[in-house]
Structure 1
Amino acid sequence: MPSIIDSVSATLGLTAAKRGRELSSTSPQHDGKRFNNVKPRPVERFGKTLRIAWNLLFNKPGGTVPAGALPVDSLTREALDAAPDRSLYRLGHSTMLLKLRGQFWLTDPVFAERASPFRRFGPKRFHAPPIALADLPPLRGVILSHDHYDHLDKETVLALAEVTNVFLTPLGVGDRLIEWGIDAAKVRQFDWWQGTVVDGLEFTAAPAQHFSGRSLFDGNSTLWASWVIVDADLRVFFSGDTGYFDGFKTIGERLGPFDVTLLETGAYDAQWPYVHMQPEHTVQAHIDLRGRWLMPIHNGTFDLAMHRWQDPFERVASLCAAHNVAISTPRMGERLNLAVPHRGERWWRNVVETASHALPLDPNVA
């Protein structure tokens, strides 16, 4: 039985920080204390960090949360079982359900009501998931990009443990799962450019520019990553969370081109460009990756920044039109054929808003 000290250390993230030090000999991304980006982000002054936190908590502008209900296509187990291979369903934020070779894979699973360590405080969902957690089909695997609360929900992962065969994670994140009680035999951890093959599907952890941690004490003690998924002639890129960096071009050259890029477009701000991309960066990343279809993710579910909730969709759609980039914007729960994507509706424009929150429409986006 763990001691009180062990329990407190785990709660505060101190064990994760210790694990990070133990991984230093295995990863070029580790300096002996923490994981790092290829290009270190500038050190933020405490005053700026405090000001950002204050504004996020107390100075939110109008429109960061929808005033009306978002359209969500409900899913059933029967419908998923009957769906053809190479189907993708967006369940919210960065949680994607993919059907490949007759089996299901889930990215960054968050079914919690809030993206927060607290049950009653923190960003609350705009919409319910298209399918209840208990109704999901058995999963061949779960793919994790990093350990932030809006990408890794402890209760969700523990609920999935019995119906999931394998968890693919960056270095250190898998140890966190094992600490939570996930069977170590199911956990596979990878550094950047490392990967595995599962039932003929190729998975490669690729670089990203971000950070990690779940408390004040474990910052960057686990690695963050993007993921490349290859199913024979189909290539899909999943960004996780990332700022824009030169690594996109390298990934495109080494592992592209990609049929579909699932790229972060949301929770951005000019004050933190090193960890989240502006829509302009998202489109450029797609071009660097040599992508064919762009699907913007990391939006439409949680209020995590200062922009209006529709802005990521409207801005990235306008930029794609200007750069002749094919973009797909399916509703939550709407099926996307990864082999032959469709454009999707501009569904965010149909959400009923109050006059004070109305968003001017871009005439360049049909």
Structure 2
Amino acid sequence: MAERGAHLTAASAPEDRPSIFEVVAQESLMSAVRPALQHVAKVLAESNPARYGFLWRWFDESFTLLDLLLQHYCLSRCSASFSENFYGLKRVALRGGRGRLATAGLPQKHHWKSLGFLVLAPYLRAKLEKLVSRLREEDDYSIHPPSSFWKRFYRAFLAAYPFVTLAWEGWFLAQQLCYILGKAWHHSPLLRLAGVRLVRLTAEDLHALERKLMGRGTAPKLSSSMTERVQLAAKKVLGGLAISLSTGLSVGVFFLQFLEWWYSSENQETIKTLTALPAPPPPVHLDHGTDSLLLPRLKTVCPLCRKIRVNDTALSTSGFVFCYRCAYSYVKSCQRCPVTGYATELQHLVKLYTPES
């Protein structure tokens, strides 16, 4: 059934129109890069919080900046995003862009629209998902008073968010179904909003891209000056660096996909069962009996407020115990453990129940 459907899809589509499998594969390529890089930033932040802690706290902004530079370069040089160019696709304007070479780039209007939907849309969605997760945690812990206006607003927003997400995903699904049936030129509504569509690279595009990367067609005449020779050498070096960068990014994407699988929850459970070891003893230099400036002498005192702990809460990343409100406020603002500096989020707060309670 699936093979017959794929055959019909390929047969009914024009030659330059990519199949649904190609467009879905190029979208999944970039979606796998973000969690892999996020895990790398988390590992670095936990290994050296003082030096690499900012990578975890400002990961969304750092990744968005790198993604902006990468997508701007690819759109300018190849008329496609990084993943689209990786799968041999390019973007053309809906009007008057069919015969335009990939090396010519997109028109300015379509270029900036495409860049905004490629970079800003995923960033805003990631921020919105984090906001919804934080509001749900605050609602579960009842941070706001019952009569608070903001709490009623948060609850209304949380109640409407699943329906908004359902409508958004349904819009994309309907667009993909229309694309499969040949009723639409776009598999994504964002492409239609940007005023472009995806087509396959032609032979002329491939030759033009190769000449642009190698710096051909710029050879000086026999009577060229030293300045022209230096410029030619610099162009060859830049062409080699561009090819090396493109190859390195391609290999790096597959390596990041491997890291994402390696650190997945299913694979980690298998590793834990094979390499189960006893828990190590607590560090000696953080013992409560020492004169540490971070920890009080009494074990019942919160390291943050220096008072007897109320509503004991531990951080699963480090194991240290604080008052709930102290730990919540600190982790929410700094996203790390107050004592060890390990990268920590609100879901790492663990409520402790004593026999007396």
Q: TM-score when scaled to structure 2?
A: 0.19
Q: Which has the larger radius of gyration?
A: 2
Task: Compare the two structures and name the one with the higher helix fraction.
Answer: 2
Task: Compare the two structures and name the one with the higher strand fraction.
Answer: 1
